[in-house]
Amino acid sequence: MKSAPSDTIAAIATAAGRGGVGIVRVSGENLRGFAQALTGKTPLPRRATFAGFKSEDGGLIDSGLMLYFPAPASFTGEDVLELHGHGGPVVMNLLLSRTLELGARLAEPGEFTRRAFLNDKLDLAQAEAVADLIDASSAAAARFAVRSLQGEFSQAIRALVEELIGLRTLVEATLDFPEEEMDFLRDADVFARLAKLERHLESVRAKAKQGKLLQAGLHVVLIGQPNVGKSSLLNRLAGDELAIVTPVPGTTRDALKSAIQIEGIPLHIIDTAGLRETEDEVEKIGVARAWRAIEEADLALMLLDARAGLAAEDRAILEKLPPDLPRLIVKNKIDLTGEAPERHPEGADIALSISVKSGAGLDLLRQSLLEIAGWQTGEDVFIARERHLRALEAAARHLAAARREAETPAPALELFAENLRLAQNALSGITGAFTPDDLLGEIFSHFCIGK
């Protein structure tokens, strides 16, 4: 059962540094007296009041606007006081210190949003959408985060849960009448409803996978032998001279990272040291870091020299890659071979022919990256996190187990019902209906202080 704390919290709600306006946010019970002690004025609900913010001895800290939102019609569901002053860090810290003197304590990261969740102003998926909106790295990610904040993802999850509850009601009602259970379930069309539920769940999973891609992006590691154009490709994709480019093999000694966007999808491109045997101690460290980057990547983009093709050394690198890591083979320098940019198979892998120098084939590369990532252009997307995908996967796994049990010659209805219950619990964890406190702490610890 949810239980929100009753003490008063305060934090600077605007970004660190100088600005025209800064905000200190306070949340707690009965903040009218708090506001009176701070400003000498009684705040009016949802009205901006000009006031002086006073220190303990009556001196003026700053002057600005005071906004008061009485419970329960506030973001947190408690009384909320916002103090809008001049946005210098010294002024903001003096004002924050004054709120602490008046009995507030410094808010923990995400504590305002956590209280909104505990007071049933937001469910857990909506609360996470607050952070996703703040962290959005593209216009598309921000747009879909707003939709999740408004409850679209939560509504889809609740619809699945309601379907499950309906199924569980039918199944569990038969457990006391074992001699009639199978005929009753067939007459109630339970198994067809289960199949429909699985299709519905798979549709939500597909939309969530797209949203996870928008939220977290795709981590692409550039690998290959030295001097095949990895650093040049990084610079081309990033639109900036991030990496040093020379004809000397081994120039790149460390992993270089750049974030770009392709059709709104964030791609985190990592340029690595050339993968080769070397006696240079510094280059050895770079090669080791390259392999660590490969282990954490979503996609390996292997660059080759089109003049040499896929050499034995390249095949050796491919054999060392994690077997479940998608890879894209890119043959560079077709400006020297006279070939046209194209896409073609290379064994079980996809291969492209491009020229980083001239730019030929780069659009083909961008589209191939989106295709491998699984991106499908559309507006039907749910911003999702890894824990959401795991919960959806667990629910799908339990529904599949229920279906397999139902298909056996002598199904155990208790196992069928238990798998439906486990699927419901997995889905309810997304919105926070069944969520342990330690998971809540982990989720909200990644939020901003003041949010």
H/E stretch holding 64: strand 60-69
Q: Is the pLDDT of residue 190 over 70?
A: yes
Looking at the structure, tell me whether residues 223 and 337 fall in a common domain. yes
Looking at the structure, tell me whether residues 231 and 355 fall in a common domain. yes
The pLDDT value recorded for residue 154 is 92
Q: What is the CATH number of the domain that holds 264?
A: 3.40.50.300
Looking at the structure, tell me whether residues 236 and 136 fall in a common domain. no
The pLDDT value recorded for residue 170 is 79
Fill in the amino acid letter for 86.
H
Last residue of a domain, one of 317, 340, 373: 373
Looking at the structure, tell me whether residues 311 and 403 fall in a common domain. no
Q: How far is CA 260 from CA 108, 243, 265, 366, in A?
A: 32, 15, 8, 11
Give pLDDT tens digits for 323-379. 888 888 889 899 988 888 888 777 667 788 889 888 888 888 888 888 877 776 666
Q: What is the CATH number of the domain that holds 166?
A: 1.20.120.430
pTM: 0.74
The pLDDT value recorded for residue 251 is 40
Q: How confident is the model at residue 184 (pLDDT cuts 50, 70, 90)?
A: low
- Centre a 10 Å sphere on the Cβ of residue 178 and count the other Cβ atoms it contains: 10
Last residue of a domain, one of 121, 155, 176: 121
List, as one string, the DSSP characters of 210-273: HHHHHHH-EEEEEE-STTSSHHHHHHHHHTS--S---SSTT---S-EEEEEEETTEEEEEEE--
Give pLDDT tens digits for 125-170. 998 888 888 877 777 788 888 888 888 999 999 999 999 988 888 7
Looking at the structure, tell me whether residues 365 and 296 fall in a common domain. yes
Q: Which domain holds residue 66?
A: 9-121
Q: Are 12 and 451 in contact (CB under 8 A)?
A: no
Q: Is the pLDDT of residue 92 over 80?
A: yes
φ, ψ dihedrals at 89, nearest 5°: -60, -35
What are the strands of the beta sheet with 265-271, ordered from one edge? 256-262, 265-271, 218-223, 299-305, 327-332, 349-353, 342-346
Closest listed residue to residue 216, CA positions, set 146, 138, 274 = 138
According to DSSP, the residues that pair with 269 across neighbouring strands are: 220, 258
Q: Helix 124-135 crosses helix 437-444 at what angle (to 10 degrees)?
A: 20
Q: Is the pLDDT of residue 391 over 50?
A: yes
Pairing mode, if any, of strands 79-87 and 19-28?
antiparallel
Q: Are 420 and 167 in contact (CB under 8 A)?
A: yes
Looking at the structure, tell me whether residues 205 and 237 fall in a common domain. no
Closest listed residue to residue 224, CA positions, set 216, 236, 234 = 234
C-alpha–C-alpha distance, residues 427 and 157, integer Å: 7
Phi-psi region of 265 (alpha: psi -120 to 50; beta: other; left: phi over 0): beta
The pLDDT value recorded for residue 179 is 56
Q: Are 68 and 44 in contact (CB under 8 A)?
A: yes
Last residue of a domain, one of 56, 86, 121: 121
Apex 31 CA angle, 27 and 36, nearest 5: 135
Over residues 431-441, mean pLDDT: 71
Three-state secondary structure along 296-363?
HCCEEEEEEECCCCCCHHHHHHHHHCCCCCCEEEEEECHHHHCCCCEEEEECCEEEEECCCCCCCCHH
C-alpha–C-alpha distance, residues 161 and 170, integer Å: 14
Fill in the amino acid letter for 11.
A
Report the domain count for the chain: 3
Over residues 400-408, mean pLDDT: 86
C-alpha–C-alpha distance, residues 136 and 443, integer Å: 17
Looking at the structure, tell me whether residues 285 and 353 fall in a common domain. yes
Q: Is the pLDDT of residue 395 over 60?
A: yes
Looking at the structure, tell me whether residues 366 and 230 fall in a common domain. yes
Q: Is the pLDDT of residue 188 over 80?
A: no
Over residues 56-84, mean pLDDT: 95
The pLDDT value recorded for residue 61 is 95
φ, ψ dihedrals at 230, nearest 5°: -60, -45
C-alpha–C-alpha distance, residues 68 and 25, integer Å: 10
Looking at the structure, tell me whether residues 257 and 358 fall in a common domain. yes
Looking at the structure, tell me whether residues 327 and 423 fall in a common domain. no
